[in-house]
Structure 1
Amino acid sequence: MKKIFTLILSLALVQAFGQTPAIVMQVVSSAGGYYKDVASGLNISWTIGEPVIETIKSADNSVILTQGFQQGNLFTTDVPNTDLPSLNFRMYPNPTINKVWFEVNNQKAKGDFLVEVYDITGRKMITQNLGQFEDQALKEFSVATLRSGIYLVKVRIGNYNSDVIKLIKE
Structure 2
Amino acid sequence: MRSAILPCLLLGLSSGFLSGQSLERHLLAPGGNYYQDLNWSMEWSVGEPAVQDWHAGDLRLTEGFQQGNALVTAVFEQPPWSYEIELYPNPVQEVLILRKTDTQLLTIRVFDVLGQLILEDHWPGDTRRLDVHSWQAGIYLLTLKDEAGAFASYRFLKP
How many pairs are equivalent? Answer: 100
Pairing 1:146-161 to 2, within 5 Å after superposition: 146-159=135-148, 161=150
2:130 pairs, out of 112, 130, 141, with 141
Equivalent residue for 2:110? Answer: 117
Q: How much is the aligned-residue C-alpha RMSD, in angstroms?
A: 2.7
Where do 4+ consecutive residues of structure 1 move more than 3 Å?
A: 62-65
Hey, what's the Cα distance between the residues in 2 that align with 1:164 and 1:158?
Answer: 16
Contact 2:108 2:143 in 1 (8 A): yes
* Residues 58 and 64 in structure 1, CA contact (< 8 A), matched pair in contact too: no
1:160–1:98: structure 2 CA closer, same or farther, 3 Å change rule?
farther
Closer/same/farther in 2, CA of residues 158 and 126 from structure 1, 3 Å limit: same
Normalised TM-score (structure 1): 0.49
Unpaired segments ≥5 residues, structure 2: 1-18, 25-56, 60-67
Counterpart in the other structure of 1:59: 21
* Distance in 1, Cα, partners of 2:107 & 2:76: 23
User: Residues 80, 129 of structure 1: CA spacing in aligned structure 2 closer, same or farther, 3 A cutoff?
Assistant: same
- Structure 1 residues 103 and 79, CA gap change in structure 2 (3 angstroms): same
Aligned to 2:97: 101
- Equivalences for 1:1-170 in 2 at 5 Å? 58-62=20-24, 64=58, 74-86=69-81, 87-105=83-101, 107=102, 110-111=104-105, 113-130=106-123, 132-133=124-125, 137-159=126-148, 161-170=150-159
* Secondary structure of the structure 1 residue equivalent to 2:93: coil
The answer to whether the Cα contact below 8 Å between 2:95 and 2:133 also exists between their aligned partners in 1 is yes
Deviation at 1:118, TM superposition (A): 0.4
**TM-score by structure 2 length?**
0.52
- TM superposition shift of 1:129: 2.6
Per-residue displacement from partner, 1:56-104 (whole Å, max 9, x unpaired)? x941335648xxxxxxx73332313233231431211100001111121
Change (3 A) 1:83 1:161: closer
**Sequence identity percentage:** 15
In structure 1, runs of 5+ residues without a counterpart are 1-56, 66-72
AA at the equivalent of 1:97: Q
